[in-house]
């Protein structure tokens, strides 16, 4: 130990530091010993040697009882009640900005008085947040059964305030209204003499104790994927709300998400899918791939049986069916959207024409059809008006017999297309905005579409689940 280290230690106590802050300001981060910090805390509790009975000039009372134990107990209670199933946790602190100034001021004093240190550079010391975590970790771990891990997906944030925080920061007019992060950077670049001239040699005795405002938490998002079928022709994929007025009672997104929310206890979610079908279009075949980002979920561990239970809950609704539900990573989601325009989708369109059946042989001779589609009139209100080149890879037409008398003929068109092709507009031409169209190919201006089904989306994602 340096010959004057004990003298500095005693001086810091006299100036108003608690034993913990005195110890951490004389300890390098690389050589911190949690047992020394705990022992120092015991000295504060048993025989305080601070300036009168004021809060510590460094931590504003954060390490002093009863404040310290109350905060630990609050965090323990919060973790138990929050019901997260994470095995680990990390802790963050939102501290008043003046704690950074106070720590910097004390480190300058220590640097000036330590014999073997450069008085022009602040001495490195264990910061408030790190010291508190080290001292509180064991109690929280024992009480909750969760491990402390700086890489944990579950972050617990303790927030504090100090009534004179702004006034202290205003003493340094060059750093007013800046964040803690910016403040740290500025202090490392600021001339120490300038700092002392504006802030003073040492922090003032606090007029009040730091205030603990509460605890909040955030778990990293979890992602769930699957495929859905939609059997209804009166159901939108996402909530249909116009001018803050709901137009349909429900949606595919809501039917799928509500049971998942119930099982995972999430704050909110984000729904995404490989394309979307219109309200009056059914999604058949293997279904459409979709994913849900679960925001701040409490439950994040899903067994095979849990996913099947969630599927069964969703499938109680007769309009939508979900299968292959599973956990995926954020990186896996890239496959959902990658190469969107190059995916192949299969459709079946039920069409009609007035009078006799058109010559479908004209249609069936095509091996592929290249289209130019201007943005359909029906979606111009929400999409840019532009021309899109699309390809129909295969096309086949067949007559459909219907019961009863009709002055129309009916036929099915089964086609595979590049993703993003507007099928309805390909049938009727959209007033010439799609060329060619079934009307121009079959040379019949009365052709139109009655119903459309998506038969398949050629994307092998997510992986199939073996039931």
| Cβ proximity of 369 and 391 under 8 Å | yes
Contacts of 16 (CB under 8 A, 6+ apart): 50, 51, 54, 56, 57, 203, 205
10 Å CB burial of residue 303 (0-12, 13-18, 19+) is exposed
- The pairing of beta strand 448-457 with beta strand 281-295: parallel
pLDDT at 116: 63
pLDDT mean over 41-51: 65
3-state helix, strand, coil in the chain (%, to 5): 35, 25, 40
pLDDT mean over 36-40: 90
Contacts of 445 (CB under 8 A, 6+ apart): 439
Tens-digit pLDDT profile for residues 275-312: 999 999 999 999 999 999 999 999 999 999 999 999 99
Q: What is the 3-state secondary structure (H, E, C) of 67-94?
A: HHHHHHHHHHHHHHHHCCCCCEEEEEEE
Contacts of 304 (CB under 8 A, 6+ apart): 465
pLDDT mean over 438-457: 97
* Domain 225-337 part of CATH 3.30.450.40: no
Looking at the DSSP bridge assignments, the partners of residue 269 are: 294
- Could you give the 3-state DSSP secondary structure of residue 345? strand
Tens-digit pLDDT profile for residues 176-227: 555 666 788 888 888 888 888 888 889 999 989 999 999 999 999 999 999 9
Tell me which fold the domain 340-457 belongs to: Alpha-Beta Plaits (3.30.70)
| Cβ proximity of 76 and 156 under 8 Å | no
pLDDT at 117: 61
pLDDT at 120: 62
435: which 2 tokens?
């060329």
User: What is the distance, to the nearest Å, from the Cα of residue 90 to the centroid of all Cα atoms in its chain?
Assistant: 17
- The pairing of beta strand 268-273 with beta strand 281-295: antiparallel
267: which 2 tokens?
């704050």
pLDDT at 207: 87
pLDDT at 191: 83
Closest CA to 237 of 278, 296, 207, 297: 278
pLDDT at 193: 86
Tens-digit pLDDT profile for residues 113-127: 876 666 666 778 999
Confidence (pTM)? 0.86
Catalytic amino acids?
278
Q: Where in the chain is the domain with CATH 3.30.70.3190?
A: 340-457
Tens-digit pLDDT profile for residues 319-348: 999 999 999 999 999 888 876 667 899 999
Q: Is the pLDDT of residue 1 over 50?
A: no
Q: Is the pLDDT of residue 260 over 90?
A: yes
pLDDT mean over 41-70: 79
What is the C-alpha separation between 12 and 49, in angstroms, rounded? Answer: 10
Q: Could you tell me which residue, 6 or 257, shows the higher pLDDT?
A: 257
pLDDT mean over 130-151: 94
What is the C-alpha separation between 286 and 274, in angstroms, rounded? Answer: 13
pLDDT mean over 97-108: 93
pLDDT at 195: 86
pLDDT at 2: 56
Of the listed ranges 82-86, 241-245, 254-258, the one predicted with least confidence: 241-245
What is the C-alpha separation between 108 and 121, in angstroms, rounded? Answer: 7
Q: Is the pLDDT of residue 171 over 60?
A: yes
pLDDT at 144: 96
Contacts of 462 (CB under 8 A, 6+ apart): 225, 226, 227, 289, 324, 326, 328, 332
Q: Is the pLDDT of residue 352 over 90?
A: yes
From residue 210, give the alpha-carbon distance in Å to each of 59, 213, 266, 354, 386. Answer: 8, 9, 32, 82, 60
Peptide linkage before 462 cis (omega within 30 of 0):
yes
Q: Sorting pLDDT into bands at 50, 70 and 90, what band is 356?
A: very high
What is the C-alpha separation between 99 and 165, in angstroms, rounded? Answer: 9
What is the C-alpha separation between 271 and 264, in angstroms, rounded? Answer: 15
What is the C-alpha separation between 404 and 49, in angstroms, rounded? Answer: 101
Tens-digit pLDDT profile for residues 401-443: 988 788 999 999 999 999 999 999 999 999 999 999 999 999 9
Closest CA to 49 of 75, 83, 71, 22: 22
Mean pLDDT score of the chain: 91
Q: Is the pLDDT of residue 79 over 50?
A: yes
Q: Where in the chain is the domain with CATH 3.30.70.2510?
A: 225-337
pLDDT at 5: 85
Of the listed ranges 62-71, 100-109, 148-157, the one predicted with least confidence: 62-71
In percent, how much of the chain has pLDDT > 90? 74
User: What is the distance, to the nearest Å, from the Cα of residue 186 to the centroid of all Cα atoms in its chain?
Assistant: 31
In percent, how much of the chain has pLDDT > 70? 93
pLDDT at 400: 96
């Amino acid at each position: 130990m340096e010959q004057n280290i004990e003298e500095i230690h005693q001086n810091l106590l006299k100036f108003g530091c608690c034993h913990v802050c005195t110890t951490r300001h004389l300890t390098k981060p690389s050589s911190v010993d949690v047992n020394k910090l705990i022992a120092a805390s015991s000295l504060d509790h048993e025989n305080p040697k601070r300036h009168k009975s004021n809060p510590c000039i460094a931590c504003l009372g954060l390490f002093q009882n009863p404040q310290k134990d109350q905060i630990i107990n609050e965090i323990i209670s919060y973790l138990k009640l929050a019901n997260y199933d994470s095995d680990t946790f990390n802790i963050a602190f939102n501290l008043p900005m003046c704690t950074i100034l106070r720590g910097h001021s004390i480190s300058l004093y220590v640097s000036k008085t330590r014999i073997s240190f450069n008085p022009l550079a602040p001495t490195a010391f264990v910061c408030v947040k790190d010291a508190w975590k080290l001292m509180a970790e064991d109690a929280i771990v024992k009480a909750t059964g969760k491990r402390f891990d700086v890489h944990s997906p579950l972050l617990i944030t303790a927030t504090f305030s100090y009534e004179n925080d702004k006034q202290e920061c205003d003493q340094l007019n060059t750093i007013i209204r800046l964040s803690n992060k910016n403040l740290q950077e500025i202090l490392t670049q600021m001339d120490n003499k300038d700092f002392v001239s504006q802030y003073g040699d040492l922090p003032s005795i606090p007029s009040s104790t730091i205030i603990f405002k509460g605890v909040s938490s955030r778990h990293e998002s979890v992602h769930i994927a699957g495929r859905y079928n939609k059997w209804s022709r009166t159901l939108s994929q996402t909530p249909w709300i116009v001018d803050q007025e709901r137009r349909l009672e429900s949606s595919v997104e809501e039917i799928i998400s509500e049971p998942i929310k119930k099982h995972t206890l999430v704050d909110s979610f984000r729904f995404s899918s490989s394309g979307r079908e219109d309200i009056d279009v059914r999604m058949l075949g293997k279904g459409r791939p979709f994913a849900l980002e679960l925001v701040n979920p409490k439950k994040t561990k899903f067994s095979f049986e849990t996913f099947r239970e969630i599927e069964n809950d969703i499938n109680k609704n007769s309009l939508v069916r979900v299968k292959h539900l599973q956990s995926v990573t954020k990186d896996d989601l890239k496959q959902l959207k990658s190469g969107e325009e190059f995916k192949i989708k299969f459709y079946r369109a039920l069409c009609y024409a007035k009078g006799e059946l058109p010559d479908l042989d004209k249609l069936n001779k095509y091996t592929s059809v290249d289209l130019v589609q201007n943005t359909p009139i029906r979606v111009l209100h929400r999409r840019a008006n532009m021309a899109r080149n699309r390809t129909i890879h295969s096309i086949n037409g067949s007559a459909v017999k219907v019961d009863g008398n009709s002055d129309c003929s009916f036929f099915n068109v089964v086609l595979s297309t590049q993703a993003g092709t507007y099928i309805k507009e390909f049938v009727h031409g959209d007033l010439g905005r799609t060329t060619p169209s079934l009307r121009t190919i079959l040379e019949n201006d009365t052709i139109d579409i009655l119903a459309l089904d998506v038969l398949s989306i050629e994307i092998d994602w997510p992986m199939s689940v073996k039931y």
